[in-house]
Structure 1
Amino acid sequence: MGIMTDSYYQKRLQKSHSKILETAIAHNQSGCQVAIDCGCGVGNDARYLLSQGYEVHAFDNDARAIKQCREATSDQVNLHLYETSFENFQYPEAGLIIANSALFFCPKQHFNNVWKQIENALKPKGIFCGDLLGVEDDTNHPRNPNPTQFLTKEQLHEMLSNFEIIGIKERKGLQPTMTGREKYWHAFTVIAQKRASHLRSEY
């Protein structure tokens, strides 16, 4: 991983929100205007959600990213920021949960429990929008000191069994990371709506 400099965070602040977020918002039929931004970084998506009338709970375990986000949103009373990790965050009920390029950093030993918490926090007809890594990703090797959960297509569909899938986009190939290092990616971008009949999972 490259070194995160101040200029890196400033450049991230200048970027727009994830365009897929617009589709996710359009499909939120839960009646709930509360969103959770998992791994929010400097808050580009959180700021867009605020502009669309959402109350936003956003977290990241990167202290400098949270500091930049807090400074950029100091006048936003509907934004709640937390410096914490996926496994330690307390997930409130929400109509929209996003994890754009974020679940990559959820440790493998916590992934299943974190997913159950996300699923339980999401209200019926609410939307999950996020990215997950596939088994062919080049970080899926025994020497990775911080392994996450890598998924086959079949495992992904099983994970989303309580959702109506709005869209899944699979991508494979060499592309740069956020720090500029080129790597071979295998990732899935998901938009899915929680079924109205789904009961809470036990964890």
Structure 2
Amino acid sequence: MDENTEIWRQYYEKALTRPHSKRTELAVQLNKSNLKVATDCGCGTGSDIQYLEQQGFRVHGFDINPDSVAICRDRFGSKSLVDIAETSFELFDYPKSGVVIANSSLFFADPNQFVTTWGNIKLSIEVGGVFAGDFMGFKDSWANNYRSPTTPLSESEVKGLFSDFEIVRFFERDEKAKTSLGRMKHWHTYSVVAVKPI
């Protein structure tokens, strides 16, 4: 098993106990699209999927990591409203959604295809629907020479992605802090909640 696989496995063990993101609750409240469909991009162990499914959403979750997908299929195999796929940002077929979640996942989208990937995500959001997620900034420790390619963006580039959305919340994190596995790193991220105007 390579180091990468082992690190993700440790991360998922920790993540299984994590509650859903408060931001996901906000996204559900803001959804005025009348479409109770959600997409969770890079769904990890499925804490947000669980919450969304409990709110009556049909949830499409995907992750490129087979461990994550196996955990989610175990957790949600009996839930008819949940569909889990093992695939990448680039290959996923985005359904029309009222809520699209990308918590700490778009960092790892292929930088060479990011424009197309973002276009697909944006197109999938129904009018009145909501995007909630994070983007990596250039000062992040993982922005350069990380063990897999990352897509760092500037503040103006992130805001530019939402030029035809209404940004409800925008938060920049720029600090040294531990990862969920207890390693120190510099975090530089932009968190966005935005609504596609009706």
TM-score range, shorter chain: over 0.9
Contact 1:104 1:148 in 2 (8 A): yes
Matched, 1:159 2:156: no
Q: Offset at 1:33? A: 0.2
Match of 1:34 in 2: 37
Pairwise CA RMSD of aligned residues?
1.6
Q: Which of 9-18 and 65-74 deviates more?
A: 9-18
Match of 2:195 in 1: 193
Match of 1:140 in 2: 143
Q: Offset at 1:78? A: 0.4
SS class of match (2:27): helix
Match of 1:66 in 2: 69
Matched, 1:106 2:114: no
Match of 1:183 in 2: 185
Q: Deviations over 1:24-77 (max 9, x none)?
A: 111001110000000001111001100011000000011011111111122200
Match of 1:52 in 2: 55
Q: Offset at 1:17? A: 0.4
SS class of match (2:104): coil
5 Å-filtered alignment, 1:84-99, equals: 84-99=87-102
SS class of match (2:168): strand
Amino acid at match of 1:174: K
Matched, 1:127 2:130: yes
Q: Percent identity?
A: 37
Contact 2:128 2:197 in 1 (8 A): yes
> How many Å separate the matches in 1 of 2:8 and 2:193?
32
Contact 1:107 1:146 in 2 (8 A): no
Match of 1:19 in 2: 22
Where does structure 2 lack aligned partners over 5 or more consecutive residues? none
Q: Offset at 1:6? A: 5.5
Where does structure 1 lack aligned partners over 5 or more consecutive residues? 197-203
> How many Å separate the matches in 2 of 1:103 and 1:180?
22
Match of 1:79 in 2: 82
Amino acid at match of 1:77: S
Contact 2:38 2:97 in 1 (8 A): yes
> How many Å separate the matches in 2 of 1:50 and 1:118?
20
Q: Offset at 1:8? A: 4.4
Superposition TM-score, scaled by structure 2 size: 0.92
SS class of match (2:44): coil
> How many Å separate the matches in 2 of 1:86 and 1:5?
18
Amino acid at match of 1:177: T
Q: Deviations over 1:171-201 (max 9, x none)?
A: 11112223332110110110000123xxxxx
Amino acid at match of 1:118: I
SS class of match (1:92): coil
Amino acid at match of 1:175: A
Aligned residues: 195
> How many Å separate the matches in 2 of 1:125 and 1:6?
37
